[in-house]
Amino acid sequence: MKTIGSFIKDARAKKRYSLAKLEEATKIKKDFIEAIEKEDWKTLPDYSVVVGFVKNIAAYLQAGERQAIALLRRDYPPQKLSINPKPDVSRQFVWSPKLTFFVGVGAVIAIIVGYLIFQYVRFINPPHLEVFEPKEGQVVNTAAIRVSGKTDGDAVIKANNQPILVSDDGKFSADIEIFAGTGEIVVKAVSRSGKETTVKRMIKPELK
């Protein structure tokens, strides 16, 4: 059975061309031509380059390019093919249902952890406290004074040790008793953890 090596060698012999002459005519190194004739694939370049060599040699020897390429495809060892039959797709990013699940779980965990941290910080910190009334230096000529403001919804408010109810949104307002010698209103907010925030307002009682 004729092989690509014997096909090229016979065609060259028929034309009585030496390896050197064929090298000069095709510009292909005679070592490569000889390797093709001996089918010594290990010393030859990649398959695509060898295909070009065979085409040029067959064309110059007028030996039939198609037949030469067909014989090369049959005889060339498959393991030497430069074409990768299994492209590497391992590095391609693919969004899968499994990834969606893990991202969802991660998001839920992050929300829960964030909420717990927020609650912990809120628990260990003193409560927020704003006092709207009375104003600093306010003149008072009645036996009661209006105390109002805003704090955390779960805080306890006392004004001069008198408790004041706090609404769910943290607002509070009440009238507390004062006496002739009262010169200061002390508003204290106490959190569930026992942390305190205090605001003081100086007043000027002018009781009749």
How far is Cα 158 from Cα 174, in angstroms, rounded to an integer? Answer: 10
Q: Residue 188 forms beta bridges with which residues?
A: 158, 198
Which residues contact residue 208 at a Cβ distance below 8 angstroms, ignoring those fewer than 6 apart? 141
| CB distance 147 to 187 below 8 Å | yes
How far is Cα 56 from Cα 26, in angstroms, rounded to an integer? Answer: 7
Please give the order of strands across the beta sheet that includes 156-159: 138-140, 196-205, 184-190, 156-159, 162-164
Q: Which helix (H) or strand (E) holds 206?
A: none
Q: Residue 158 forms beta bridges with which residues?
A: 163, 188
How far is Cα 109 from Cα 106, in angstroms, rounded to an integer? Answer: 5
| CB distance 33 to 8 below 8 Å | yes
| CB distance 19 to 28 below 8 Å | no
Instruction: Give me the tens of pLDDT residue by residue for the chain, a chain 208 residues long.
Output: 788 889 988 988 998 989 898 899 889 998 998 999 898 998 898 998 999 999 999 888 888 889 889 888 888 887 544 445 555 555 667 788 888 988 999 999 999 999 988 888 877 889 899 999 999 989 888 888 999 999 998 899 999 999 999 999 999 999 998 887 788 999 999 988 888 999 999 988 886 6
